[in-house]
Amino acid sequence: MSDAIRLKSSLACTLCLILLVGCRGERLPIGIAAATLSACPPTPNCVSSAADSERHAIAPFTIVGKAEAAWRALHEVVAGMKRTEVITDSDDYLHVECASRLFGFVDDLEFQLRAGENLIAVRSASRIGYTDHGVNRRRVEHVAERMRERGVIE
């Protein structure tokens, strides 16, 4: 058997295994602990406004105007995103599952309203895989851009 055929066969088997096992993945710790969102794992498939490391760090959303208006706008932006499902929604915390288009891999997207600090903390993390090829960072940047267009964050 040629190397090319072995490679194609190996890739096909890997794809079948992924589909058989499922794409939801094991959820990492999420939610608010010690007044902040959970930390990112050491793997480069997560971004968080609470992260210290450069590869995980992303800016929180700095609110312009009333915090309640920014929180409502965030809900509207998230509602307009494809392949998303709101899991937890409270006065100061929003958890959304985001599924990838091709294989349905699930990422956890979280927001924490800190009205007293005039900001919204954010975290987006893949459940499976070592790297996300920048998907979580781009997702958060997309949400931030939609929020800026609405004039509710800097």
pLDDT digits (tens, 9 = 90+) for 67-78: 999 999 999 999
Structural domain total, the chain: 1
Is the pLDDT at 34 greater than 80? The verdict is no
Question: What percentage of the chain reaches a pLDDT higher than 90?
Answer: 56
- Report the sign of the C-alpha dihedral through residues 133, 49, 28, 94, in that order: negative
The pTM of the full predicted model, rounded to 2 decimals, is: 0.78
Residue 93's domain comprises 23-149
Other CB atoms within 10 A of residue 147 CB: 21
Q: Residue 63 has what DSSP assignment?
A: B
Looking at residues 89-101, what average pLDDT do you find?
92
Counting Cβ atoms within 10 Å, is residue 79 exposed (0-12), middle (13-18) or buried (19+)? Answer: exposed
The residue among 5 and 34 whose pLDDT is bigger is 5
What token pair was written down for 131?
Answer: 């790297």
Are 36 and 111 contacting, i.e. CB atoms less than 8 angstroms apart?
no
Place of tokens 């979280």: 110
Domain annotation covers residue 57? yes
* Residue at 4 is within a domain: no
Q: In the 8-state DSSP scheme, what is residue 115?
A: G
Note the pLDDT of residue 75: 97
pLDDT at 21 over 50: no
Which CATH number covers residue 52? 3.30.310.80
Q: Is residue 96 part of a domain?
A: yes
10, pLDDT greater than 70: no
Residue 3 lies in a domain: no
Residue range 95-106: mean pLDDT, rounded: 86
- 59 pLDDT band, cuts 50/70/90, is very high
The first and second tokens of residue 65, run together, are 């105007």
